[in-house]
Each structure stands twice: as C-alpha cells, then as structure tokens.
Structure 1
Amino acid sequence: MADAKTILIAEDSSVILNLTKKILELQNYHIVTAKNGGEVIKQIEKQKIDAILMDLNIPVKNGMECTKEIRSHQDPEISKIPIIAVTGNANNYSMDDFKEAGINAYLPKPLDFDMLVQTVKQYVA
C-alpha cells in the first residue's frame, strides 16, 4: 500500500480536533495537528503535508492569514498544498474572500463528517 497521505488539522478546539482526527485516521490518513497559526507554518516547513484543514478562527495567525502566508511561500511544494477552510462563521466571508486568500474548498461547522471525508479525498488523490 502507498504511504498514507498526511493531513494537517489546524484547530484550537480539542473536541473538534480529536473527532476530525479519528474520522480521518479511519480513512488511513496520517494526521498532524496545530492549535494556532504559528504552529501551522512550523508544521508545513518541517514535513510534507498533503492537505490542510484550516479552522479560520485559530489564535496567533487566523486561518485567512495562514492561507495567504502559505500561498506566498517560496517553496512551490508548500505554496500549492490544498487548503480546506473549516468555519462556523462562514457568513463573515464570501466565496470571493476564500478564493482571494487561496482556499480550495470550505466546510461549515458543525462538520458533516461524510462531507469532510469526501472533500479531503477530492484534494488528496
């Protein structure tokens, strides 16, 4: 079997983080986590990440700031990582805001776990 794809979950809620991690581990993904925007940047520079589930309301740097920083990264491998925004405040953003930041897809909270798995599979072929 091919090596498991690595998904970075950027989420400051332990409950959501653990649930999401379990769901994706059941799909044979390798999971790494970040509780804030600073950790997201450290993780992507430390190892190969195949996709990021980015909560938009994380401390230090929010998800939009993180996404913009990732998109402008000098390493093309890093700048092209698929980013799936996860937010309970989608009304604060338009699809244009997401596209402008470089977000590939977005999932509303509360998370629909079937949709989560389907969306991750779509970006991590």
Structure 2
Amino acid sequence: MATTKKVLVAEDSSVIQNLTKRILQAQSYHIFAARNGRQVLDKLQQESFDIILLDINMPVMDGMECARQIRALGDSEKSATPIIAITGNAPNYSMEDFKLAGINEFLPKPLDFDRLVELVKEYTS
C-alpha cells in the first residue's frame, strides 16, 4: 500500500483550517497545521511534506514571502515541495506573481473543496 501523503495546511482561519483538514483526512491524507509562514518554515526544519496549502494573508509572515523562503531552502527536496496558494485576494495577484514567488497553483476563497482535493491529488501522485 502507498504511504499516506503529508499535507501542511498553513491558514490563520481556524474555520477554513478545520474544514480543509476534515475534507483531506477523509481522502486519507495526514494533515499538519500552521497558522503563519514562520510556523511553516519551522515545521519544514523538522520534516518533509508532500504538499503545502498556503494562505497568502497570514500574520507574522505572509504566504508570498513564505513561498519565496521555501524555494530558497538549501534542502533541494523541501525547496521543491508543491505549493498551492489559498487567497481571498486573488484579484490583487496575477498567476505571474504567484509563479515568481514559487507557487505552483492558487485557489480563490471561498474554497471549492472539490477543486482543492483534485489539486492535492494531482500534485501528490
């Protein structure tokens, strides 16, 4: 049997974080949570993830800066982790902005959870 894929959900909204967690756990993913970009980087120091779901607007360190720092990590496996941005401010960013920060895809809020599951499956298979 395949190993359970590890998903890091970085989201400061506990409602969105809990919904995302429940939906992905139902798909047999192992979920880890962070509330800001600094916590994401701290967790990446300790372990690897198969994908990171990254809110763009978070306290302490926003998702764009966090993505840039992930891509700059010295560990080539961790720096290549797929990143899906989650944002309520999609009109403020272009796909080019996301790509320059190292983000693979983005999902606007309110989240389409079917699309979220689809993207997580795509990037972790």
TM-score, normalisation: structure 2: 0.98
In structure 1, the residue matched to 2:12 is: 12
- Asked if 1:97 is matched to 2:97, the reply is yes
Indicate the RMSD between aligned Cα atoms, in angstroms: 0.6
Are 1:46 and 2:22 counterparts? no
Report the secondary structure of 1:85's partner residue: strand
TM-score, L = length of structure 1: 0.98
Note the C-alpha offset of 1:81: 0.2
Identity %: 58
Number of residues paired by the alignment?
125
Q: Which runs of 5+ in 2 are unaligned?
A: none
Structure 1 gap ranges (5+): none
How far off is 1:104 after superposition? 0.3
- Counterpart position of 1:109: 109
Provide the rounded CA distance (Å) in 2 between the counterparts of 1:44 and 1:21: 19
Q: Structure 2: how far apart are the matches of 1:28 and 1:88?
A: 27
CA distance in 1: counterparts of 2:94 and 2:22, whole angstroms: 30
Moved over 4 A (4+): none
* Cα shift at 1:3: 1.7
